[in-house]
Amino acid sequence: MDITPQASLAAPSSLAAPSSLAAPPSAAAEPHVPASGPAAPLRLALVVGSNREGRFAPVVADWFLGRAGAREDFTVDVVDLAEVDLPTALSGSPRPAVRAELAKVSPRLAAADAFVVLTPEYNHSFPAALKALIDWHYTEWQAKPVGFLSYGGVSGGLRAVEQLRQVFAEMHAVTVRDTVSFRNAGEQFDSEGRHRDPAAPEAAVKTMLDQLAWWGSALREAKARRPYGG
């Protein structure tokens, strides 16, 4: 189940979506290749997978952004599903209202070189809003690495992560082995959103980001030489 933060924990300003958004890519969009070559920072999209009222996700997201933002090998974009309203009923010809919602996220997923998916655990699984985002896209996920940042009760969201690995395998994405998870997350952060005992999670997030950096660079270079044909 999701964990509701203390009332004093407000959503961080870092979760605001960019003010200008490009048109959504077509289904046959080419993979993104930075103009400056493989040495350019990887574009990392943090997908905040909870849109639940009173969610704890902003606290965990803000903590993560403080670590990922300090690295020179990534630039980070936040795709917050609380700011998107995608229906669960899929369509090959979406209504104008749905196309407008897709325009908020599709170009940013297509531009990303790697993803971190932040998920709570609802009833041993992940949120419906996250599944809808995944299902509305396909080529945007292909041949890109995915890391997981999870939180929950006694499992720390790991049961949701194991199900997401199967879903992303079908999308031709590569999930990295190491995750960052917070068991009983509401007890691990103080009223200012600081982790009470940061040594272990900071070591875990470094390991995960190192793996994403390796896979992201390797796959970006490979796609620059030969587009992925999945």
Q: What is the pLDDT of residues 85-103, one digit of tens each?
A: 999 999 999 999 999 999 9
**pTM, to two decimals:** 0.83
Residue 75 binned pLDDT confidence (cut-offs 50, 70, 90):
very high
Q: Give the mean pLDDT of 24-30.
A: 42
Q: Which is more confident, 136 or 229? A: 136
180 conformational bin, left if phi > 0, alpha if psi -120 to 50, beta if neither? beta
Cβ of 212: how many Cβ atoms within 10 Å?
26
Contact 167, 161 (CB under 8 A): no
13 has a pLDDT exceeding 70: no
pLDDT computed for residue 16 by the predictor:
41
pLDDT at 29: 45
- For the cut 80, the answer to whether the pLDDT of residue 155 exceeds it is yes
Percentage of the chain with pLDDT > 90?
82
Q: What count of Cα atoms within 13 Å lies in the side-chain half-sphere of residue 28? A: 0
Mean per-residue pLDDT for 145-155?
A: 96
CA distance 70 to 132: 31
Question: pLDDT confidence of 67, banded at 50, 70, 90?
Answer: very high
Give me the pLDDT at residue 229, please: 86
Distance, in Å, from the CA atom of 216 to the CA atom of 204, rounded to the nearest integer, reads: 18
175-207: per-residue pLDDT in tens?
A: 999 999 999 999 999 998 999 999 999 999 999
The DSSP bridge partners found for residue 189 are 195
Q: Is the pLDDT of residue 1 over 70?
A: no
Burial group, residue 148, by CB count within 10 angstroms (0-12, 13-18, 19+)? buried
pLDDT at 20 over 70: no
Where are any strands of DSSP class E within 94-157?
114-119, 145-152
Distance CA 106, CA 99 (A): 10
Phi–psi pair at 103, nearest 5 degrees? -65, -20
**Distance in angstroms (rounded) separating the CA atoms of residues 62 and 118:** 11
Which three-class secondary structure state does DSSP give residue 153?
Answer: coil
pLDDT confidence bin for 222, thresholds 50/70/90: very high
Mean pLDDT of the region 143-150: 98
Which of these ranges, 25-34, 68-77, 82-91, 134-143, has the smallest mean pLDDT?
25-34
Which stretch, 14-23, 24-33, 130-139, has highest mean pLDDT? Answer: 130-139
What is residue 25's predicted lDDT score, i.e. its pLDDT?
A: 42
79: tokens are 């795709």
- What integer best gives the mean pLDDT of the chain? 87
Q: Are 149 and 114 in contact (CB under 8 A)?
A: no
Taking 70 as the threshold, does the pLDDT of residue 28 lie above it?
no
